[in-house]
Amino acid sequence: MNIIDLSACEAVCLMRSGEMSVTEYVNALIIQLEAKSDLNAFILYDVKKIRHDAKKLDDHRISGNECGSLFGLPLAVKDNIETSSYITTGGTGGLSNYLPKQNAPVLQKLLANGALVLGKTNLHELAFGITSNNSIYGAVRNPYNPEMIAGGSSGGSAAAVAARITPFAIGTDTGGSARIPPALCGIVGYRPTMGRYGSVGAIPISHTRDTLGTMARDVADIQLIDQIITDQIDVTELTDLKTIRLGVSRDYFYENLDPDTAKRTEEALQVLKELGAEIIEVNIDNLMALNDAVSFPICLYESIKDMEKYIAQIGISFSELIEQMGSHDVKDFYETCLKQPPFTEKQYHTALYEARPLLQQAYQCYFEENKLDAMVFPTSKLTARPIGQDENVIINNVETPTFNAYIHNTDPSSNAGLPGISIPIGLSSENLPIGLEFDGPVKNDRKIMQIAAIFQKAVGQLAKPE
């Protein structure tokens, strides 16, 4: 096996034992990074620093010191997550010289356990979009077809993992950004229960919805990182799915899927049945209306307030930030909202304190009344589309707004604060990845990981991109 194909767990095991040096591993990844530079997955990386950090770890082990649980693991870090050793640009011009004083707490915990930063990954400008078509740093390209988007906003992180540049990446997720890019790039993506990882040290969009998330090619890697971040160890381990009940809400989540996504999803449901899971066909009543009452009123209101607070700490004005934006969709949004906020404070409070609890209650009742361990649905209604289709895409011969099309299935659980994990289930007729998501009740993160791990073992990983 080529060492760039190693999972995070496999690589760490070999480096901790000394069977493979950290230097040997990072050198192989650097070669792959440069060979796949056309994907534009990274905004920043420093080969000299990577090799210096690797040697330092190798010397640490050779000297007989204890090696951390993530010893030698190179992490790709989305460039809206603060790093003290790299500028954090947020993918925007106004922050191109911003060097944070410290690492984001989640990242710091991983580094304290022996990981190292491989580089900062490209993203949709300020993480405010779904395509990662960044007008300043260039579009992130899909490893399975470079003419296609990698998804957003964590497109660079997902592309880097899929292209074997890194075994693991950190991203953020406000409404699907740690699950949609993995689905489009053929890897695993995880959004934790709201508050499990938090969003401290990340450039904000909406504090009610923002969270850090993780990406890998193997669920076991997601589980390893989660244990380290949370110090939570599984008390019981699922060995099969024979006692598991999975909800299928065809209203909303299964409507207007592109044909390949629909086909692969039904095949995946059959695999779950064969693994012993009981599929319960029951809908979440009135989900669209419940979600619409929460989604934009909270996100768009908080986006201005949270950004104002964040950049004030840096010492840059909103007008300076906007002036140096390159992506028209992001720039137009902020300019418009500053002139005329789309929602009043009263509308925001209604969404936050009245509508959101109703959405959360609907999910809670769905899981409890139907005795469900999780629900399952296609992560995205459609596969990756060509770079440049930022405003509209075609699904089943109907033109649909691009943002709404991709975020449709991941948005409700983001607003409710639920955990979700996306698993690749196959390729479309055009050889583009398709993802399946498992969402669970609040704080049931470890259980949905276990379900996903058993399922992934059955379906296997996708063939790697050429």
Percent of the chain with pLDDT over 70: 100
Q: Which of 246, 74, 72 is nearest to 160 (CA)?
A: 74
CB 282 within 8 A of CB 247: yes
Give yes or no for residue 256 having a pLDDT over 80: yes
Q: What is the per-residue pLDDT for 1?
A: 75
Domain extent listing, the chain: 3-459
Rounded to an integer, the average pLDDT of 378-393 is: 98
pTM, full prediction: 0.98
414 as an active site residue: the answer is no
In the set 7, 135, 177, 199, the catalytic residue is: 177
Quote the tokens at residue 363. 């999910």
pLDDT digits over 78-91, tens only?
999 999 999 999 99
Residue 44's CB is within 10 A of a number of other CB atoms, namely: 17
pLDDT tens figures, 114-146: 999 999 999 999 999 999 999 999 999 999 999
Helix pair 8-17, 22-35: axis angle to 10 deg: 140
- With cut-offs at 50, 70 and 90, classify the pLDDT of residue 329: very high
Band of residue 237 on the pLDDT scale cut at 50, 70, 90:
confident
What are the backbone angles phi and psi of residue 308, rounded to the nearest 5°? Answer: -55, -45
Identify whether 206 is a catalytic site residue.
Answer: no
Phi, psi of 385 (to 5 degrees): -115, 165
- For residue 284, pLDDT beyond 80: yes
Catalytic residue among 153, 199, 206, 414: 153
Read off the pLDDT band of 466 (50, 70, 90).
confident
Q: Which residues pair with 171 in a beta bridge?
A: 213
Query: How distant, in Å, are the alpha carbons of 174, 195, 307 from that of 312?
Result: 22, 24, 8
CB atoms within 10 A of CB 217: 25
Name the phi and psi angles at 190, rounded to 5.
Answer: -130, 130
Counts of helices then strands in the chain (DSSP H, E): 18, 17
Sign of CA dihedral 420, 423, 425, 428: positive
What confidence score (pLDDT) does residue 236 get?
78
DSSP 202: B
Q: Which amino acid is at 218?
A: D
Task: Please state, rounded to an integer, the average pLDDT across all residues of the chain.
Answer: 97
Fold of 3-459: Amidase signature (AS) enzymes (3.90.1300)
**Residue among 243, 249, 250 at smallest CA distance from 275:** 243
Given the residues 21, 36, 78, 154, the one annotated as active site: 78
Report the candidate in 452, 424, 456, 425 with the shortest Cα–Cα distance to residue 439.
452
Distance CA 411, CA 212 (A): 16
Token pair listed for 252: 């909303």
* 177 a catalytic residue: yes
pLDDT confidence of 338, banded at 50, 70, 90? confident
